[in-house]
Structure 1
C-alpha cells in the first residue's frame, strides 16, 4: 500500500501580517481593551490565530500561532487564544467563513446582557449581518459549550452576540469580518438608543429577506 503524502506546513507571513493589521484596527476603533478579543484566519486546513494575553500593539508575525483543524499547534512559541474552540467550531460548521473577529464593544455587550435579539431595523445591518441578530446562551469563556452555543445562534448570519460577553463577527476574509464588526456595533447602538425613545420601526420580514439575499448573491465584492 502506498504511503499517503503528508502536506508540509509553510508559514504565510502575509496572513500573519494581515491579522496584526486588523488587530490594530480593532484596538484603534475601541472595540476591545487591553489584550481581550481574538482574531483568526483559516487557510486551507490551518487556522492562524492571535496568541493568548498578548498586547495587540506588540504583535509581530512570529507571535501569531497556527493550529490545524483539530487545534493542534503547528507553528508558534505562544499559546493560541483561549477562545480557540470558538474559532474551530465556526470554521467546522461554516464552509463560507475564512475569518473570525471576536471583540468586546460597549453597545454589543449591552445587547448581550439585556436582549435576546435585534430585529431587522436598518438596511445595512440586514444586508451585511442577517435578518435577525441573536444573542447566544451563556457559557464560560473558552469552553466548547460556549463555542456550540455561539454557532447555534450564529446560524447563517455574519455576527452573533455572546451572552454577558461580547461580539463575534465572521466573513469570507478579514475585511468582511471587520466591517461586520463595525456594523454590528453601530446597529447595537442604534437599537439601544431607539428603545429609549420607543415606537421602534422594524423592516417587513419579506423586505429583510430580499435585502439579505441581494447582498449575499450580488452586492458584495469578491
Structure 2
C-alpha cells in the first residue's frame, strides 16, 4: 500500500483533479471537503502528509494546521488562492510549505515527494519515545494507550485519554476550553463549557491531582488548562 495523504479541499473540481492525480502516483488519498471533516479524518487514521486549503467551511486551514500540530509534526502543505507575501508568511506559521493556486500538478507531486523523503528520515524514532515518564509516578504508554500512576493502572475513557495526550504532548501550553472541545470533540463551537469541565475533573480525580496543588494539570484561571508534569 502506498503512502497515505490527507487532502482537505472544498473546491470539488480541484479536489477531484488532485486526488485522481495523486492516486495514479500510487498514493492512498483521503479527501475531505470541510475543515472539521478533515480534522476528524486526521484523528481517525494515520497519514504521511496533509494537503490543506486555507479557506474552508466549518474550520479554516490555519486552525486545521494548529490542531494537527498539537498532535504531530508530519508535513503539511498549504494550498491557497492567496498569493500575497504576507499571506504566505502567515500560512507558513503552521504549514511546512505553501503552494499558491493555480499550481502545476508536476510541482505539487515534486513537493510532496520531497517532504515525504524528509518526513521518513525524521520519523525513524526510538521505541522508547512511545513512552513518557513523569515525577510523582505518572507513566504513559502512548502506543498502547496505557496509563499508570505509581505502578497502578488507571482506566481512562477515550475522551479522557485524548485530553491527557493533547495536554501532555504540549507541556506548559495553555488550552482554552473552546480549543479542547474543538480538538477532542471535533465540534466548531462551545456554548456550554460544562462538557470539558466535567472531563477535566474526572481526569484529575483518576490522576489524584489536586486543583490547589497540581502535579499534572493546572488551571490557568480565566484562560484554560495546561500540563505541568515534570518529565523524568
TM-score under structure 2 length normalisation? 0.24
Query: Which structure has the larger Rg over C-alpha atoms?
Result: 2
- Which structure has more relative contact order (CA 8 Å, sep 6+)? It is 1
TM-score under structure 1 length normalisation? 0.24
